[in-house]
Structure 1
Amino acid sequence: MISTSVTGTGAGAFASARRINQSLTAAIEKRALTWMAERMPPWVTSDGLTAVGLCAQIGAGLFYALSRYHKAGLIGVIVCIALNWFGDSMDGTLARARNQQRPRYGFYVDHIVDIFGATALMCGLGCSGFVHWPVAAAMLMGFLLLSAESYLATYTLSCFHMSQGIFGPTEIRILLCIGTLALLRSPYATVMGHRLLLFDLGGTIATVAMFAMAIAIAVRHTVELYRQEPLR
Structure 2
Amino acid sequence: MECNIKREKVVVANPKLFGDRERTNILRGGEQQLILFLLKKLPTWVSPNFMTGIGMFGSVLVFAAFILAHFYGTSWLLTGISGLLINWLGDSLDGRLAYYRNIPRKWYGFTLDIVMDWLSIVLIGLGYYFYANNVQQILAFLFVVLYGWSMIIALLRYKITGAYQIDTGRLGPTELRVIIALILLAETIITGTIGYFAIAICVLLSIINITDTLKLLKDGDARDKADKGSR
Regarding TM over 0.5, the answer is yes
**Comparing both chains, which one has the higher relative contact order based on Cα–Cα distances under 8 Å and sequence gaps of 6 or more?**
1
Partner of 2:52: 50
CA displacement, residues 173-217 of structure 1 (integer Å, 9 cap, x when unaligned): 1111111111111123xxxxxxxxx22211112112212211211
Among 179, 199, 205, the alignment partner of 1:204 is 199
Secondary structure at the counterpart of residue 20 of structure 1? coil
Q: Which runs of 5+ in 1 are unaligned?
A: 6-16, 189-197
Query: What's the CA shift for 1:18?
Result: 5.5
Confirm or deny that 1:217 pairs with 2:205.
Answer: no
Counterparts of residues 47-196 of structure 1 (less than 5 Å): 47-70=49-72, 71-129=74-132, 132-188=136-192
Structure 1 contact 18–158 (Cα < 8 Å) conserved:
no
CA distance in 2 between counterparts of 1:129 and 1:66 reads: 12
Structure 2 contact 186–194 (Cα < 8 Å) conserved:
no
CA distance in 2 between counterparts of 1:160 and 1:150 reads: 7
Report % sequence identity. Answer: 20
Confirm or deny that 1:26 pairs with 2:28.
Answer: yes
CA displacement, residues 22-67 of structure 1 (integer Å, 9 cap, x when unaligned): 1111011001101111221001110000011012102211111110
Please, what TM-score do these two structures have when normalized by structure 1? 0.85
CA distance in 2 between counterparts of 1:64 and 1:147 reads: 24
Structure 2 contact 51–93 (Cα < 8 Å) conserved:
yes
CA distance in 1 between counterparts of 2:80 and 2:101 reads: 31
Query: What's the CA shift for 1:72?
Result: 3.1
Confirm or deny that 1:40 pairs with 2:42.
Answer: yes
Larger proportion of helix: 2
Partner of 1:194: none
How many residue pairs match? The answer is 208
CA distance in 1 between counterparts of 2:139 and 2:224 reads: 39
Which amino acid letter does the alignment assign opposite residue 147 of structure 1?
Answer: M
Structure 2 contact 150–209 (Cα < 8 Å) conserved:
yes
Which amino acid letter does the alignment assign opposite residue 224 of structure 1?
Answer: D
Partner of 2:12: none
Which protein has the larger Cα radius of gyration, Structure 1 or Structure 2? 2
Larger proportion of strand: 1
Secondary structure at the counterpart of residue 164 of structure 2? strand
CA distance in 1 between counterparts of 2:178 and 2:20 reads: 26
Please, what TM-score do these two structures have when normalized by structure 2? 0.85
Which amino acid letter does the alignment assign opposite residue 179 of structure 1?
Answer: I
CA distance in 1 between counterparts of 2:20 and 2:107 reads: 14
Please identify runs of 4+ aligned residues in structure 1 that moved more than 3 A. Answer: none
Structure 2 contact 25–170 (Cα < 8 Å) conserved:
yes
CA distance in 1 between counterparts of 2:42 and 2:186 reads: 34
Query: What's the CA shift for 1:229?
Result: 2.0
Q: Which runs of 5+ in 2 are unaligned?
A: 1-15
Structure 1 contact 126–133 (Cα < 8 Å) conserved:
yes
